[in-house]
Amino acid sequence: MQEIVNRVFIETHYPGVTLGAISREHGLILVDSPFRQDDTRSWRSSLLNLGGGVARILVQMDAHIDRSMGAKAMECTILSHIEAANVFQNRPASIKAQTLDAGAEWENYNGLGSIRWGTPHITFSDHMFLHWDENLVELDYRPGIADGSIWVDLPVEKVLFLGDAVVSKQSPFLSDADLPLWIEHLKSLFSKKYQEYFFVSGRDGLVTLDDVHNQIEFLSEINEKVQDLAAQKSSLDAVGKLVPDLMKKLAHLPAKYYQLHEKRLTYGLQMYYAHRYLDKPSKKEAN
C-alpha cells in the first residue's frame, strides 16, 4: 500500500483495479474493491491499520465487473452513480462466473464461484459531497467512459481518482464509451483547476499528464477511424480489422498480456460501433 499524500492510500497489488483508501475522522472512504475473495479478505485486513473513525463507505467508480464483483464482500455501505446502480439491477441476482471474452481481468481467473452483487445503498445523479471531516470529498459524474462512471476529487489533498478514464499500461475499455465526451473529460485535466494534482488511474495507479495526453491521442485516433467506417456503413468485421494497427500504438504492453488486451480492444470496438452506429445493435453484457 502506498500513501500518496497524508491519509490517502492506493493499492496496486491486486489484479483488476487500483484500490483507494481515504482516512477521515468519521471513517474510511474506500475506492473500488478486489474481485477475488482471498484478496478482499487481505484488503480488509490491511485497512485495519489505517486509523480514522469506525465508519466505512465503498465508492464504486463504475459498474465494471472487475471493480464490482467483490463489493458485497467488503461488508460496508456501497455508493455509486445512479446509472451504475441501474446496471446492477439489470444483472441476475446471482450468477455463475463465466468468460465473456471481453478482455476483462476477472476472465483470467478460475474458481471465482457464484457471484452476488452488492446493491448500492446510496446513489447520486450529478455531484455529491462527503463531509467526513473538514476536508471534503467530491464525487463527479463523468459519463464519457462508461454508464455511471465517476471521478473522486480530493480538492484539499489535490488527488483525483479517475477510474478507467486513463490507462497507461493497457488498452482502454471502449464498449460503453462516448468517445467525444471522454476526450472532453480528459482535456479538462489540463486546466488550472488540476495543477499540482496527483492523478490515480483505476487500473495503473499514479499517472501523469503525459499519460493523459497519450490517452487523448489514442482515443482521438479510434474516434476518427470509427467515424470513417460509419460513414461507409461498414460492418462489425471491418471494425475488428482496425485492431492490429491500434495495438502497435500500445508498445508498452507486456508480451504476456498482449492477447488479453487485443481481445479487450476488439470486443470494445465492436460493441462501441454496434451501439452507436448500427440500427439494431445486439449488445451482451460488456463488463
The domain that holds 224 is classified in CATH as 3.60.15.10
Whether the predicted pLDDT of 287 surpasses 60: no
pLDDT band, very low/low/confident/very high, at 72 (cuts 50, 70, 90)? confident
Say how far residue 212 (Cα) sits from the centre of its chain: 15
Domain range for 118 is: 2-277
Q: Which residue has the higher pLDDT, 57 or 108?
A: 57
Residues 6+ apart with CB under 8 A from 183: 144, 216, 219, 220, 223
How confident is the model at residue 205, as a pLDDT?
A: 95
For the chain, how many structural domains are there in total? Answer: 1
Question: What is the residue whose three cell numbers read 460496508?
Answer: 76
Q: What is the mean pLDDT of residues 100-123?
A: 75
Q: What is the pLDDT of residues 166-217, one digit of tens each?
A: 998 889 999 999 999 999 999 999 999 999 999 999 999 999 999 999 999 9
Residue 63 inside a domain? The answer is yes
Of 7-11, 121-125, 249-253, the one with minimum mean pLDDT is 249-253
Residue 87 belongs to a domain:
yes
The answer to whether residue 282 sits within a structural domain is no
Q: Is residue 135 part of a domain?
A: yes
Cell 461498414 belongs to residue: 234
Instruction: Return the higher-pLDDT residue of 108 and 78.
Output: 78
pLDDT exceeds cutoff 90 at 118? no
What pLDDT score does 113 carry?
63
DSSP 61-122: SS--HHHHTTTGGG-SEEEEEHHHHHHHHTS-SEEE-----S--GGGG-S---EEE----SE
Structure confidence at residue 104 (pLDDT)? 78
DSSP SS3 for 47: helix
123 is a domain residue: yes
Query: What are the CB-based long-range contacts (under 8 Å, 24+) for 183-187?
Result: 183/144, 183/216, 183/219, 183/220, 183/223, 184/144, 185/142, 185/144, 185/145, 186/212, 186/215, 186/216, 186/219, 187/216
Would you place residue 99 in the very low, low, confident or very high pLDDT band (cuts 50, 70, 90)?
very low
Q: Is residue 50 part of a domain?
A: yes
pLDDT given for residue 112 in this prediction: 65
Beta-carbon count within 10 A of 116 CB = 14
Domain contains 283: no
Q: Is 125 exposed, middle or buried (0-12, 13-18, 19+ CB in 10 A)?
A: exposed
Q: What is the pLDDT of residue 206?
A: 97
In this prediction, residue 265 carries a pLDDT of 92
Q: What is the pLDDT of residue 93?
A: 61
Give me the pLDDT at residue 285, please.
42
Distances in Å between the Cα of 122 and the Cα atoms of 9, 167, 244 are: 23, 27, 42
Residue 240 reports pLDDT greater than 80:
yes
* Phi/psi at 157 (5° precision): -80, -15
Cell numbers representing residue 230 in the block: 460509419
On whether the CB atoms of residues 160 and 194 are closer than 8 A, the answer is yes
Give mean pLDDT, residues 249-267. 84
C-alpha–C-alpha distance, residues 216 and 72, integer Å: 34
* Domain-located, residue 240: yes
Mean pLDDT across the chain: 88
